[in-house]
Amino acid sequence: MGRRGGWWRGKSTPAKVETYTRWSFHTFPFIEVATFALPAFGYVPAPVNWILFLLVSAHAALAAVTASLTLDWTRGRRPLPVRLLWALGAATVVIAVVSLVVALHGPHGADNGAAAGTVFVGVLSFGIGTLALAVRETRRMVYGVLGAAVGAGAVAVPAGVPAPGAAVAAGAVVLAAGFFTFTSAFSVWLLNAVYELDEARETRARLAVAEERLRFGRDLHDVMGRNLAVVALKSELAVQLARRGRPEAVEQMIEVQRIARETQREVREVVRGYREADLRTELAGAQGVLTAAGIDCEVSGTVTGLPAEIQSALGWVVREATTNVLRHGDATRCAVSLRVAEGRVTLTVENDGAPGIGTGSSTGTDTAEPGRGSGLAGLRERLREVDGVLRAGPAGSDLFRLTAEVPLPPDSVPDQAPAPEPGGSPRPVPHPVIEVTS
């Protein structure tokens, strides 16, 4: 049971929907046999009942194989099984007609009417519903259901069914085939919609990364473009002055040297600002990105009073944890909390939908664990610079918790509670919540 549960939790939401859809269609053959073939044993004597049972069972098996391969086609994994679809259509017509004739002209004295109606309507309904998986246009699906109903009535009358009975059979085919056709069409639409939503979420994450790269590129362009243009002009001026033997050329080259050093300093500041994560900005960004990806994200805590180096280290933890929530698992909820107590600041990131997590927590190793990449190892290195520790591991059946603890310098511990009021107990400190709208 544990392995099956892990197998299910290890799937993404689209994969779960696809598995559910496939197994739903895999249960249809059993429904068809149990609903339309088994009752024949109560109405028709042997060997006619066995003939009906075998015919319906063969049709159900063929429909199951056709449905599975056609679902692969809807996902673009294989060509449309045209021959199998034609075979199912022909088998549906032949088995329905043969079942009707055998049931109507069976042994004398047997109550064949109920068996004829159930088998005839059932085979046509399941056959049309399965064939609808290969049809993309709603109009053609409607034509298929109406055509099956008209064909059922046209075949029933020559086979010996009275006109009122043929009309009832046609109406039953419309209802049953329409229901199964709608089920097939809705299942394919839902499956495609879930995959498209998942692709849109991944696209949003990639766009966020691309936007950050563009921002970094714009900052470098603003710093380098203007200064390099000035360097080029002053260098050209220095060359012209040197050719004329003017002493001002030396002053121009000194100015070029100064601009070059200033440019180098500004580039370092840009890179440092890119590499050093601001904790407040990262918390707000994490909530915005996760909310945009359809994940309910709650961020609580305050960064007021924390030293800059600790904010930078914890900012990187938030950034890496957010990336892991987006890329791994199938999270629907994420909680980020920041608390200061007993001279230590604790950052906790907890999310659900974490498949394939190990059984132990990661507390002190420097190497990346199998299947987790090198992100956690890099975070431990950054936290080690501020004497911090990182723990990551399961926190429940499908929960994953990442905790970073960093000690605070004695002179930088923020106040945790206001002074007590005269004659009373200290007022409780409200738990601040960072609210961000994406």
> Which token pair is 196?
């498209």
- Mean pLDDT, residues 106-126 taken together: 68
Question: How confident is the model at residue 103, as a pLDDT?
Answer: 62
pLDDT above 90 as % of the chain: 5
Q: Which of 335, 243, 339 is nearest to 298 (CA)?
A: 335
**Which of the residue ranges 64-68, 206-210, 309-313, 420-424 has the most confident prediction, judged by mean pLDDT?**
64-68
> Which token pair is 211?
């936007």
- Mean pLDDT, residues 70-89 taken together: 89
Question: How confident is the model at residue 359, as a pLDDT?
Answer: 35
Question: How confident is the model at residue 76, as a pLDDT?
Answer: 84
- Measured between alpha carbons, how far is 22 from 77 in angstroms, rounded to an integer? 15
- Measured between alpha carbons, how far is 142 from 129 in angstroms, rounded to an integer? 11
Question: How confident is the model at residue 346, as a pLDDT?
Answer: 92
Q: What is the mean pLDDT of the chain?
A: 76
Judge residue 379's burial from the number of C-beta atoms within 10 Å of its C-beta, 0-12 exposed, 13-18 middle, 19 or more buried: buried
Q: Which of 64, 62, 37 is nearest to 51 (CA)?
A: 37
Question: How confident is the model at residue 220, as a pLDDT?
Answer: 75
pLDDT at position 193 over 90: no
pLDDT at position 127 over 80: yes
Separation of CA 284 from chain center: 23
147-170: per-residue pLDDT in tens?
888 887 777 777 666 777 778 878
CA-based R_g, the chain, Å: 36
Strand order in the sheet with 400-407: 296-300, 333-341, 344-351, 400-407, 389-394
Question: How confident is the model at residue 281, as a pLDDT?
Answer: 81
419-437: per-residue pLDDT in tens?
344 344 443 333 333 333 3
